Amino acid sequence: MTKLEKLREIIKSEGLDGYLLFHMDAHQSEYLAPCDERIGYISGFTGSNGLCLVTQDHAFMWTDGRYYLAAQQQLEAGWEMKKLERGEKMYFEWIKENMPKGSRVGVDESQMPAGSFKLRSEYLEKEGITLVPGKNLVDQVWGEDKPPMPTEKVWILEEKYTGQST
């Protein structure tokens, strides 16, 4: 069974019709630790800008122009690249136009800023579609092979480098 098939089973077992995945960690960091590279793990795409929508029939990965060629080469079987550019449908527009009323789409709330979650929830609720915050389903697929969280020590940069004290 492929990783994508396992994810679809979990989506279904959670009572969801789809699942959103963002290239973010809980702090919206620019550079992710290996344990937060969930898009790379589940789809094969290793670029730094991507978001995924998985349903029982579709697996889309949106990215910007910097990564079109890489995404086409890296995405594993069953995935389709979508373009993040003017004139192309965004993930929330695709959901609105293609998922039936009553659909429930899961999202790891730690990967989506609260303001974005509220905005997209309100947009989709008008269509009878619910964004459901919860745990990260890709982590369940990854299981024990998921890299551990970093444990390096944190240090304080001097004010001469940061411009402000802690």
Predicted pLDDT of residue 64? 96
Length of the chain (residues): 166
Give the residue numbers spanning the domain of 120: 3-162
Q: What is the tens place of the pLDDT at every residue in 20-43?
A: 999 999 988 888 999 999 999 999
Per the structure, the count of domains in the chain is: 1
Rounded Cα distance between 37 and 23, Å, is 7
Percentage of residues of the chain with pLDDT beyond 70: 100
Predicted pLDDT of residue 155? 85
Contact present, 128 and 102 (Cβ < 8 Å): yes
Predicted pLDDT of residue 160? 92
Contact present, 17 and 92 (Cβ < 8 Å): no
Of 141, 114, 109, the residue nearest 38 (C-alpha): 141
Rounded Cα distance between 19 and 88, Å, is 20
Q: What is the tens place of the pLDDT at every residue in 139-150?
A: 999 999 999 999
- Provide CB contacts within 8 A for 138, sequence distance 6+: 7, 21, 38, 41, 42
Rounded Cα distance between 51 and 63, Å, is 7
For residue 165, name the pLDDT band (cuts at 50, 70, 90).
Answer: confident
For the record, the structure tokens of 130 come out as: 């619910």
pTM, two decimal places:
0.91
Q: What is the tens place of the pLDDT at every residue in 118-146?
A: 999 999 999 999 999 999 999 999 999 99
166 pLDDT above the threshold of 90: no
Q: How many CA atoms lie within 13 A of 91 on its CB side?
A: 25
> What's 61's domain CATH number?
3.40.350.10
For residue 7, name the pLDDT band (cuts at 50, 70, 90).
Answer: very high
- Within 10 angstroms of residue 65's Cβ, the number of other Cβ atoms is 10
Host H or E run for residue 38: helix 38-43
Rounded Cα distance between 158 and 109, Å, is 33
Q: What is the tens place of the pLDDT at every residue in 72-97?
A: 999 999 999 999 999 999 999 999 99
